[in-house]
Amino acid sequence: MDPDHLRDLFAGLPQLSIRRLFGGVGLYSEGRVFALGAFEQIWIKADAQTIPLFQQAGSAPFTYQGRTRTVTLPYWSLPDEALDDPEQALKWARLGLAASRRAFEAGPRQRRARALRSTS
């Protein structure tokens, strides 16, 4: 992922930072991760409130093959129409940031339970 393109795409977010994370990059706003850049794709954090919006936009969940099973992370692909449109990208990024805030406020036990429910 080209960091300059990511900075341009999400420039409207406050305190935007990009850091190496899991072989890709994590995108942060005000210290909260709202997206990942990995496997030549941008993945936006999602939760029960926002997953239906990602589904309607034709996005796919971030999955990978673990040792014994397929693992699904709470991130969904940035919809195609937002890949080169900062206004659209910002709309999705704000949804990711809101999901990140809700997950943090829920606490670790509830985050884990939600993550498990969203993969089944």
Residue 92 pLDDT more than 60? yes
What residue spans define the domains of the chain?
Answer: 3-119
Give the pLDDT score at 113. 58
Find the distance separating the first CA and the last CA of the chain, reported in whole Å.
30
**CATH hierarchy code of domain 3-119:** 3.30.1460.30
CA distance 62 to 45: 10
pLDDT in tens, 41-83: 999 999 999 999 999 999 999 999 999 999 999 999 999 999 9
Give the pLDDT score at 34. 97
CA distance 66 to 72: 10
CA distances from 57 to 77, 78, 110 (A): 10, 9, 27
CA distance 41 to 49: 22
Give the pLDDT score at 108. 65
By CB neighbour count within 10 A (0-12 exposed, 13-18 middle, 19+ buried), where does 64 fall?
exposed
Q: Which residue has the higher pLDDT, 92 or 113?
A: 92
By CB neighbour count within 10 A (0-12 exposed, 13-18 middle, 19+ buried), where does 4 fall?
exposed
The SS3 of residue 87 is: helix
Give the pLDDT score at 2. 86
CA distance 74 to 91: 18
